Chains A and B, each alone.
Chain A
Amino acid sequence: MDNGRSQMTPEFAQRLASAQSSIYAFIVSLMGGRDEAADVLQETNLKLCREFHRYDESKPFINWALTLARFEVMAWRTRQSRSRLVLDDDVLERVASALQVQPMEPERELAALERCLQKLPQSQRAMVDERYQCGETVRAMAGRLGQPENALAAMFYRIRRALQECVTTTLAKEESA
């Protein structure tokens, strides 16, 4: 399908910019947390720009973008040795399918995440900042704080789960309001 446009529109650019966090999260999920996710995001952005004339504006942009991102992840996988792939092929398909059926509203989701972070206890918010803003690994943090790495990892697991539940609840409340 061709949308008949010869030039990328500002609306397309805005949609692409707004969807970046969701495309990135999708790619990270399919790559099993690999650092190269930013590189695959870049490849996906280029592909989206090249293919913009194929985008059907009557359909959600994010679904189209994630489909192309999925292809870019597959292309990345073909360039890697098997030992570098975290997910098996069939599992990757399961994860991609599970993620693509979830409604995604990147800007609202990021805004909700921001509000949910403010609801965390101060000590947990500080840990999140150390881990993500400052880039400290759980292992390094455990060494610095003199705590078992497993205990700290379990704490982060609970924090992320709490944040996910808070984001889901916040978005649902906004929709019903």
Chain B
Amino acid sequence: MNPEFGKVMHSVLDGELSAEAQAALNEALRSDPAALDAYCSQVRIHALLAWRAGAATANATEKIVAFPVKPRLLRWAGWAAVALVMLGAVFFALAPSRATAAVNRVFAAMQRGDRSYTISVIEGDARMAMNNGRTLTYEGGVLHLRGDRQFVLVRPIIEGGRRITGSDGTVNWDIVGDGPVKVTSDLTRFRGGLPGEQQDSTFLDLAGNLSGLKSGYDLVLSDVLGEPSQVRLYAKRKSRDVRGPREMDITFRRETGVIVALELRGLPRARGGPEAVRLTLNGESTLPADYFTHMPHHESGRWIQDEAPAPRGP
């Protein structure tokens, strides 16, 4: 078998087959039994891996279940309606749906590289009162993310200055204006300022709450009109018992899974703040290694106030 056959197979399976490669493929399959064997086994394993990842399941079954009943089909439509719903349930049990596979893709992308998003308020009050009488605003805030544990959230203070909250994955910290740097090893502290975080939103803990998003939300995957390189994943909370935003609308790059826009709607507002926000990707450059610690965000010599984790009850 021609050693170039591997390259041709790659072109076939990645959908980038040139006219020359296509002619070479057909000639090899016509004349070389070894090439025919290799093609059959390569495509078969490729298809089974894609099937295992949910590439076709939902697509095929969603359409079956939604099959239109026309008059000429009435003679079999009665049983078909019942049977196809049953089939749908069976098919869904065989492999994860495309929407679930999309969630996996988005989360995998979160593990790679740094991302920066600007925050804009779509609905509700952008402002939020702080304990010291000053007022924060989410509008114009910036959220930097590294992996699924590290973040830096910068929000303007209306009276002047900024509040910077972050986590390097082991220490959470909070800096208000020129006040002390509060640090804690309790990774649940200082997260209430993040949109949706008051109720353990899935945004920062996307990977950690993977099962929550998959089981607690109805997921719908669709194309983005005019943007063939992007895919939209719409997630709606199944019930009030599920914690987190009521709806999430995630637009991500088809090839890499990188989120380019995220809308969170129905945010908990126990202390005021926005009801819906949009985060828009504005940077993917690699930030300094220590960027998610508090050090680069204040001058040296600032008072560091270590807050021990609150004692837990008996």
- Where the two chains meet, the residues of A that have a C-beta atom closer than 8 Å to any C-beta of B are 7-8, 10, 13-14, 16-18, 20-21, 24-25, 28-29, 32-35, 37-39, 41-42, 45-46, 49-50, 86-88, 90-91, 94-95, 98-99, 102, 109-110, 113-114, 128-140, 144, 150, 153-154, 156-157, 160-161, 163-164, 167
CA distance A41 to B50 in the complex (A): 14
Contact with A along B21-62 (1 / 0, CB 8 A): 010011001100000111111111111111111011101100
Docked Cα-Cα span, A20 to B94, in Å, equals 9
Q: How far is the CB of B67 from chain A (nearest CB, A)?
A: 7
With a cutoff of 8 Å between Cβ atoms, the chain A residues found around residue B91 in the complex are 17, 20
Known interface pairs A94-B36, A98-B36, A138-B10; A133-B105 also in contact (CB < 8 Å): yes
Task: Give bound CA distance, A86 to B14, whole Å.
Answer: 13
Least CB distance from A122 to B in Å reads 15
Whether A25 touches B44, Cβ cut-off 8 Å, given contacts A110-B52, A137-B14, is: yes
Q: Do A140 and B255 touch (CB < 8 A)? A: yes
- The listed residue (A113, A132, A134, A157) touching B109 by CB distance below 8 A is A134
Nearest to A167 among chain B residues (CB) is B45
CA distance A114 to B48 in the complex (A): 10
A137 to B105, CA, bound (A): 12
Indicate if the CB atoms of B39 and A49 lie closer than 8 Å. no
Can you list the 6 inter-chain pairs with the closest CB atoms, starting with the nearest?
A153-B10, A25-B47, A17-B90, A38-B56, A28-B47, A38-B59
Report chain B residues within 8 Å CB of A50: 76
Contacts of B26 in A (CB 8 A): 87-88, 91
The answer to whether B60 and A95 touch across the interface, beta carbons within 8 angstroms, is no
- Separation of A114 and B56 alpha carbons in the complex (Å): 18
Q: Identify the closest chain A residue to B107 (Cβ).
A: A134
CA distance A137 to B10 in the complex (A): 10
* Chain A residues whose C-beta falls within 8 Å of the C-beta of B194 in the assembled complex: none
Report 7 cross-chain contacts, Cβ distance below 8 Å, ordered by A residue.
A28-B50, A33-B43, A113-B48, A113-B52, A135-B254, A138-B10, A144-B112
A132 near B22 (CB under 8 angstroms)? no
Contact (Cβ within 8 A) A29 B101: no
Say whether B280 faces chain A, with CB atoms less than 8 Å apart: no
> Nearest Cβ distance between residue B91 and chain A, in whole angstroms?
6
Instruction: Please tell me which one of the listed residues B7, B37, B80, B94 contacts residue A49 in the complex, with CB atoms under 8 A apart.
Output: B80
Q: What chain B residues lie within 8 Å of A167 (beta carbons)?
A: 45
- Report if B130 contacts A (CB, 8 A): no
- Tell me the minimal C-beta distance from A80 to chain B in angstroms: 14
Indicate if the CB atoms of B105 and A94 lie closer than 8 Å: no
Tell me which residues across on chain A come within 8 A of B177, comparing CB atoms. none
Bound form: Cα–Cα A22–B146 in Å: 40
A153 touches B56 (CB 8 A): no
Indicate whether B267 reaches chain A with its CB closer than 8 angstroms. no
Task: Check A156 against B10 for contact (C-beta < 8 Å).
Answer: yes
Looking at chain B's contact residues, the main secondary structure is helix
Give the interface size bracket for B toward A: 35 or more
Indicate the member of B38, B55, B57 with the most A CB atoms within 10 Å. Answer: B55
Given contacts A17-B90, A95-B29, A164-B41, contact A38 B60 (CB under 8 A): yes
**Once the chains bind, are B52 and A157 in contact (CB under 8 Å)?**
no
A38-B55 in contact (CB<8A): yes
Contact between A25 and B43, CB atoms less than 8 A apart: yes
User: When A33-B13, A45-B60 are in contact, do A110 and B48 touch as well, CB less than 8 Å?
Assistant: yes
- Check if B64 is an interface residue, CB within 8 A of chain A: yes
* Smallest Cβ-Cβ distance to B59: which chain A residue: A38
Indicate if B87 sits at the interface (CB-CB under 8 A): yes
In the bound complex, CA of A65 to CA of B38 (Å): 24
Smallest CB-CB separation from A9: which chain B residue? B83
A91 and B10: CB pair below 8 A?
no
Q: Is the CB of B83 within 8 A of A13?
A: yes
Q: Smallest distance from the beta carbon of A119 to chain B beta carbons, Å?
A: 14
- Residues of B near A139 (CB, < 8 A) are 14, 16
Q: How far is the CB of B188 from chain A (nearest CB, A)?
A: 29
Contact B14 A138 (CB under 8 A): yes
Whether a CB of chain A sits under 8 angstroms from the CB of B256 is yes
Q: Is there a chain A Cβ closer than 8 Å to B261's Cβ?
A: no
Across the interface, A25 reaches (CB within 8 A) one of B29, B51, B57, namely: B51
Within 8 Å by CB of B59, from A10, A39, A98, lies A39
Would you call B124 an interface residue if the criterion is a C-beta within 8 Å of the partner chain's C-beta atoms?
Answer: no
Give every chain B residue within 8 A of A24 (Cβ-Cβ).
47, 51, 56, 60
The reply to whether A29 and B40 form a contact with Cβ atoms under 8 Å apart is yes
Shortest distance between the CB of B115 and any CB in chain A (Å)? 15
